[in-house]
Amino acid sequence: MAADPHALFEDWLAEARAAEPNDPEAMALATADAQGRPSVRMVLLKGHDERGFAFYTNSQSRKGGEIAANPRAALAFHWKSLRRQIRIEGRIEPTSEAEADAYFATRSRDARLGAWASDQSRPLDSRAAFEARYAKTVAEHEGRDVSRPTYWWGYRLVPDRIEFWTDRPHRLHERRLFTLSESGWSEGLLYP
């Protein structure tokens, strides 16, 4: 048994980075709207520490709207080659502006321009319309730095439940559940 699920997560992520051929930081993000209708999509983990699990997106996107309406969410990492997954549940809070600015600056210029050109999750008449809008955005920013749009933000899932799942023969899997209380993290096991 381990006392710190964040340290265990880091160990598993390091193994996934060494073993997974594509995007070991890919995670399913499940959100729900104000009526409780769920939706899920893949996003990339862009930071992890004892505060939680950070990702970045357009706050005016579907996921951004759902987070604003219902700031509870779940993440799932699945590393098929390792036969492991991690499920994480908790509340969502925004990162600081400084964190969002710092991460945005690490993105390629084309990705930063894309954040300006895209009305993420909104209806699009045609791919050609988006490409024309992107070209216009490129021209407007020629010779200038591409700063972070005010609607492009970072979010952090602050966990209160983390489950580590390991495949075992005959579907007799191992499930380790960490739950957070006022006194800290506690660990227990779940039936497969």
What pTM does this model have? 0.92
Which sequence spans correspond to the domains of the chain? 5-108+149-190
Helices and strands (H and E) in the chain: how many: 5, 9
| 63 closest CA partner among 23, 20, 141, 122 | 122
pLDDT of residue 54: 98
Active site residues: 171
Residue/partner pairs of 64-70 with CB below 8 Å, 24 or more apart: 64/151, 64/153, 65/33, 66/31, 66/32, 66/33, 66/39, 67/31, 67/92, 67/155, 69/33, 69/34, 70/31, 70/32, 70/33, 70/34, 70/36
Segment 142-172, tens digit of pLDDT: 999 999 999 999 999 999 999 999 999 999 9
Segment 2-61, tens digit of pLDDT: 679 999 999 999 999 999 989 999 999 999 999 999 999 999 999 999 999 999 999 999
Q: Which CATH superfamily is domain 5-108+149-190 in?
A: Electron Transport, Fmn-binding Protein; Chain A (2.30.110.10)
Segment 93-139, tens digit of pLDDT: 999 999 999 999 999 999 999 999 999 988 899 999 999 999 999 99
Reported as type and span, the H/E element at residue 54 is strand 52-58
